[in-house]
């Protein structure tokens, strides 16, 4: 898929204020600092469409980006950031949960996982939440450049094996690096395919 346009539309803390246009939407979620915003920039080949930071907790709101005037990407705040106060964490959970439960145009969620890490409770719990709410998701392994190519395959095979302890089947997954552009074409091809599959529901 060719990216002809990518524009920031708005930031919200309440899903009811999100764009009303009926277009397929894809959300990016995962631990703070896993590389959600960087991946959006890599996919769109734009340096600072989504705001990134070395410090976790950069993205704080629900951010909508309109792509090719046909679909939306959504950059979400990360979970699992220890320094956020308990009160803020509860508010965060509430508005993120609401986003996932109420956003009808959401067609697929990308759960980002740092390629170097073994399955962590918070990620497994989040995938469980998506499963329980019948929200389709893919796993996106990020920062692949930080591992060598032989190590990465070993690590991801082991990750998937562990996932099969709690899931009967594995979701589609991608291996990406925002630094090198690894996985970009495959990722966009997947979105293109889903856009075509759901086109009839968005007429």
Residue from 6, 23, 32, 127 that binds ligand GTP (CB under 6 A)?
32
Could you say whether residue 63 binds Mg ion (CB under 5 A)? no
Could you say whether residue 155 binds ligand GTP (CB under 6 A)? no
Residue pair 190/171 in contact by the 8 Å Cβ criterion: no
Could you say whether residue 32 binds Mg ion (CB under 5 A)? no
Six token digits for residue 26: 């894809």
Cα–Cα dist 57/55, whole Å: 7
Return the bridge partners of 171, or none: none
The closest alpha carbon to 27, from 119, 120, 133, belongs to 133
Please give the size of the binding site for ligand GTP, defined by CB under 6 A.
Answer: 23
List the Cα angle 109/10/52 in 5-degree steps: 65
The closest alpha carbon to 73, from 104, 98, 37, belongs to 37
CB of 125 to ligand GTP, least distance (A): 17
Indicate the residue among 49 and 67 with the shorter CB distance to Mg ion.
Answer: 49
CB of 138 to ligand GTP, least distance (A): 16
Could you say whether residue 58 binds ligand GTP (CB under 6 A)? yes
Indicate the residue among 59 and 109 with the shorter CB distance to ligand GTP.
Answer: 59
Span from 33-41, 87-95, 125-133, 179-187 in contact with Mg ion (CB under 5 A) = 33-41
Could you say whether residue 24 binds ligand GTP (CB under 6 A)? no
Could you say whether residue 56 binds ligand GTP (CB under 6 A)? yes
Which does residue 146 touch among Mg ion, ligand GTP, none (CB within 5 to 8 A, set by kind)? ligand GTP
CB crowding 146-170: b at 16 or more within 10 Å, else e: ebeeeebeebbeebbeebeeeeeee
Which does residue 63 touch among ligand GTP, Mg ion, none (CB within 5 to 8 A, set by kind)? none
CA torsion angle for 60, 66, 70, 74 (degrees, to 10)?
-10
Site of interaction with ligand GTP (CB under 6 A): 32-38, 52-54, 56-59, 77-78, 142-143, 145-146, 177-179
């Amino acid at each position: 898929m060719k990216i002809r346009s990518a524009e920031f539309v708005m930031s919200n803390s309440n899903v009811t204020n999100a764009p009303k246009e009926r277009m397929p939407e894809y959300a990016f979620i995962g631990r703070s600092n896993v590389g959600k915003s960087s991946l959006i920039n890599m996919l769109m080949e734009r340096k600072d469409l989504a705001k990134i930071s070395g410090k976790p907790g950069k993205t704080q709101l629900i951010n909508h980006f309109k792509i090719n005037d046909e679909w939306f990407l959504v950059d979400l705040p990360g979970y699992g950031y220890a320094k956020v106060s308990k009160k803020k964490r509860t508010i965060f959970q509430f508005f993120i949960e609401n986003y996932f439960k109420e956003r009808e145009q959401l067609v697929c969620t990308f759960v980002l996982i740092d390629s170097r890490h073994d399955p962590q409770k918070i990620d497994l719990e989040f995938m469980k939440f998506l499963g329980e709410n019948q929200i389709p998701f893919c796993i996106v392994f990020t920062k692949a450049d930080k591992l060598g190519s032989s190590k990465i395959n070993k690590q991801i095979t082991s990750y998937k094996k562990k996932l099969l302890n709690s899931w009967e089947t594995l979701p589609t997954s991608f291996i990406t690096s925002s630094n090198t552009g690894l996985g970009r074409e495959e990722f966009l091809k997947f979105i293109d395919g889903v856009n075509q599959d759901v086109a009839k529901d968005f007429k």
